[in-house]
Amino acid sequence: MKAYENYNLPATLPTNPSKVRVKVSLSNQMAYVMEGNKPLLVMPVTVGKSSTPTPTGNFRINTKTHKYRANTHGYAIKGDVVRGVKLKNKPAGWAFKGTPMPYWCSFKSGYGFHTGWMKPFPTSAGCLRMHKNVAPKFFRLVSVGTPLSISSRQPEDATIGRNIPRPPDASPFPGNPDGMMARTDKFFTQHQTPTYTN
């Protein structure tokens, strides 16, 4: 758990933000934030599993929201009781609070980049999960309108994407308490202060 908490990657601020683009390799589970031919951030991502794949194609980042909460799944709340649910299964009379998805950068309805537990195999519902210490860097580097290409492979897989360290598998770690996730905004700031190289 300590190694996971300490995981981080370097990032460089762009000279010209309008030239930034993002490329995602699903087979390498890697995202490349590029300014021309210069990598600004190369980061592992957890991609969609076979039953809920990450969409492929050319997109643009269309919204950015630091404190985003899901609108289809989260927590049912009644008095002191909090339990995880899908919104469609929320008991009548219970309040609902969406799952926190920090540093949300959407590119298609229902799909985006966001902070989440990182695993070395496809396991998401189609979104691209980022490590919590790297997510705020990605969020700063991209803008609404940044081009995004998602495909099975990218040319960078054979070069800058070959030896990027990956975080430990989060599968065995306990999840955050439902009460904390539903009743507070703590999960949105559970990361190291981002720093950038020149």
Question: What's the CATH number where 25 sits?
Answer: 2.40.440.10
Give domain status of residue 24, yes or no.
yes
Give domain status of residue 72, yes or no.
no
Could you report the per-residue pLDDT of 21-30, keeping only the tens digit for each? 999 999 999 9
Give domain status of residue 146, yes or no.
yes
Give domain status of residue 163, yes or no.
yes
pLDDT bin (cut points 50, 70, 90) of residue 175 is confident
Nearest to 110 by CA among 164, 158, 160, 71: 71
The residue range of the domain holding 55 is 2-63+103-180
- pTM higher than 0.85, yes or no? yes
Are 34 and 42 in contact, with CB atoms under 8 Å apart? no
Contacts with 16 (C-beta within 8 Å, 6 or more apart), sequence order: 35
What's the whole-number average pLDDT of the chain? 97
Tell me: pLDDT of 198 over 80. no
Give domain status of residue 157, yes or no.
yes
For 64, half-sphere exposure in the C-beta direction (CA atoms, 13 angstrom radius) is 14
Distance CA 91, CA 186 (A): 26
pLDDT bin (cut points 50, 70, 90) of residue 59 is very high
Give domain status of residue 71, yes or no.
no
Could you report the per-residue pLDDT of 72-107, keeping only the tens digit for each? 999 999 999 999 999 999 999 999 999 999 999 999
Give domain status of residue 36, yes or no.
yes
Nearest to 149 by CA among 65, 30, 51: 30
Contacts with 182 (C-beta within 8 Å, 6 or more apart), sequence order: 74, 75, 77, 82, 97
- Provide the pairing of β-strand 30-35 with 38-44: antiparallel
Q: How many domains does the chain have?
A: 1
